[in-house]
Amino acid sequence: MTAQPIEQHRVLKTAIPGPRSQALQARKLASVSAGVSTGLPIYVERGAGGILVDADGNQLIDFGSGIAVTSVGNGAPRVIEAVQRQIADFTHTCFMVNPYEEYVEVCEKLNELTPGDHDKRTALFNSGAEAVENAVKVARHYTGKDGIVAFDHAYHGRTNLTLAMTAKNMPYKHKFGPFASELYRVPMAYPYRWPGGPQHCADEAFSYIIDQIHAQIGEENTAAVIIEPIQGEGGFIVPPAGFLKQLSEWCTANNILFIADEVQSGFCRSGDWFASDFEGIVPDLITTAKGIAGGMPLSAVTGRADIMDTIHPGGLGGTYGGNPVACAAALASIETMEEENLIQRARDIEAILKGRLEQLAAKYDEVGEIRGRGAMIAMELVTDRETKEPAAALTAAINKACHERGLVTLTCGTLGNVFRFLPPLSMGDDLLNEGLDILDEAFAASV
């Protein structure tokens, strides 16, 4: 069985959200915890490529990919076929009880694709947060040290340990503490907002950070530094060239593990297999999830074999980690990325997105900066280009105006003033441009 084809165009049949979605939202409010909110409450019935079809028959253009997950698009034929085949074979054994080939094959593939040609090992889990938790466990176990260093604007998940690493209070951390200990935060090399100016950001941030680690934790107490090579939820912040390399080399020289959290930036999203590749860095450990499995829940920690293999048998695992259906989906997603050259496609999308956003920046002073790589692009909005005062209200207004027009968009940023673009990498030029036309209208209607 293959997915029913859906024309790759927006179709609006009702207001957004339409009456059926509104009725479903009323049921949601009466049954689902208020803590789980919905950014755009159109209730999805089907999806294919870059289109989502809602309960009222509207076809919305998807610029979010379910937060960078459906990079191969919804309904990718190889993924559908692999998942159906695997479900018919068996759905679960628990790899720790009775293993299966698909798990091993995903690990082999990750060892091959992740940065560096050294000997590697992988362990599979379910969510990004779970991968990050396990990377921290492994780092502490291997180094025999406790301290973990994370960054301003970081996002690493919603579990207690990963919330300690996530930077933003609302909505993630507010009143959910106390959080896990021995987590330390240092400034992020954020060129657009670096006090000394973008040209000094790499060197100044690096020396500030290592001084802080030395003075406040001590290298001998620091197990790992964890960083998103392109920060996701925090605002698609791209560190300046050379910063990550300098930092990772310093970590190595000080017996501190360098962990790259590529949960959002991985799997072709940034125009390389991993964002680390662009900077030529080879992390000791790398966490992946999201785009890995075309929408099925799967995550991984991949790292140097000597590190990953110091863990005692039984020290890592979980009931569902590396579920066979999710593994089959991952193998099919990776094959799709290879066969359809989605690395190149992400770069093509970057050129289109940046070209169109530069046109917006020429028209509107509120566009403070356009940044990102591949199909992970953002614009940071400000009320004034001189003061760089964050324009959070405008960001929310444009987002709402896009939603009302049938374009699924996402914002991000610690200050709520970053508009981000995460289309499926399989999205064609026509649909991408149709979405960007809607963005133009939404911008004009909101400023």
Span of 94-102, 150-158, 363-371, 424-432 interacting with ligand PLZ by CB under 6 A: 150-158
Among 72, 132, 376, 379, binds ligand PLZ (CB under 6 A): 132
* Among 66, 157, 191, 324, contact with ligand PLZ (rule: CB under 6 A): 157
- Decide if residue 129 touches ligand PLZ (CB under 6 A): yes
* Nearer CB in complex with ligand PLZ: 20/158: 158
CB 73, CB 49: distance < 8 Å: yes
Q: Is the dihedral of CA 24, 28, 30, 31 positive or negative?
A: positive
Among 23, 24, 44, 67, binds ligand PLZ (CB under 6 A): 67
Backbone torsions φ then ψ of 286, nearest 5 degrees: -135, 135
Q: Are the beta carbons of 257 and 143 closer than 8 angstroms?
A: yes
- Compute CA distances 87 → 77, 102, 322, 324, 334, whole Å: 15, 13, 14, 8, 19
Q: Is 127 in the site for ligand PLZ (CB under 6 A)?
A: yes
Q: Indicate whether 261 belongs to the interface with ligand PLZ (CB under 6 A).
A: yes
Residue 30 vs residues 25, 33, 37: alpha-carbon distances, Å: 9, 8, 13
Residue nearest to ligand PLZ (CB): 128
Q: How many residues bind ligand PLZ (CB under 6 A)?
A: 16
x/- binding map, residues 214-233, to ligand PLZ, per CB under 6 A?
A: --------------x---xx
Residues whose CB is less than 8 angstroms from the CB of residue 330 and which lie 6 or more positions away in sequence, other chains included: 106, 109, 292, 293, 294, 296, 298
As given in the structure block, the two tokens for residue 93 are: 């054994």
| C-beta neighbour count of 66 within 10 angstroms | 18
Q: Which of 251, 248, 242, 188 is nearest to 217 (CA)?
A: 251
Span near ligand PLZ by CB under 6 A; candidates 25-33, 244-252, 260-268, 419-427: 260-268
Q: Which stretch binds ligand PLZ (CB under 6 A): 35-43, 97-105, 149-157, 335-343?
A: 149-157
Which DSSP helix (H) or strand (E) runs through 183?
strand 183-186
Closer of 153 and 345 to ligand PLZ (Cβ): 153
Distance CA 447, CA 444 (A): 6
Q: How far apart are the first and last CA of the chain?
A: 46
Q: Which residues 232-251 are close enough to bind ligand PLZ by CB under 6 A?
A: 232-233
Query: Site mask, ligand PLZ, residues 279-318, x = CB under 6 A?
Result: ----------x-----------------------------
Residue closer to ligand PLZ by CB (options 155, 421) is 155
User: Does 272 help bind ligand PLZ (rule: CB under 6 A)?
Assistant: no
**Residue 104 touches ligand PLZ, criterion: CB under 6 A:** no
Nearer CB in complex with ligand PLZ: 35/144: 35
Q: Is 339 helix (H, G, I), strand (E, B) or coil?
A: helix
Q: Which two tokens stand for residue 131?
A: 């991968």
Which tokens sit at 375? 């199909």
Under the binding rule (CB under 6 A), the answer on residue 422 touching ligand PLZ is: no
Residue closer to ligand PLZ (CB basis): 18 or 235: 235
Out of 263, 346, 357, 370, name the contact with ligand PLZ by CB under 6 A.
263
Name the one residue in this structure whose structure tokens are 């100044």. Answer: 204
Q: Identify any residues that bridge with 258 across adjacent strands, giving them in sequence order.
A: 225
Interstrand relation of 147-151 and 183-186 (parallel, antiparallel or unpaired): parallel
Which of 28, 137, 158, 400 lies at the binding interface for ligand PLZ (CB under 6 A)? Answer: 158
Beta carbon nearer to ligand PLZ, 136 or 332: 136
- What is d(CA 307, CA 114) in angstroms, rounded to the nearest whole number? 16
Question: Closest distance between ligand PLZ and the C-beta of residue 127, in Å?
Answer: 4
Q: Is 131 exposed, middle or buried (0-12, 13-18, 19+ CB in 10 A)?
A: buried
Stretch that binds ligand PLZ, among 85-93, 125-133, 367-375, 403-411 (CB under 6 A): 125-133
Smallest gap from Cβ 156 to ligand PLZ, in A, equals 5
Q: Can you give the binding site for ligand PLZ, defined by CB under 6 A?
A: 67, 127-129, 132, 155-158, 228, 232-233, 261, 263-264, 289
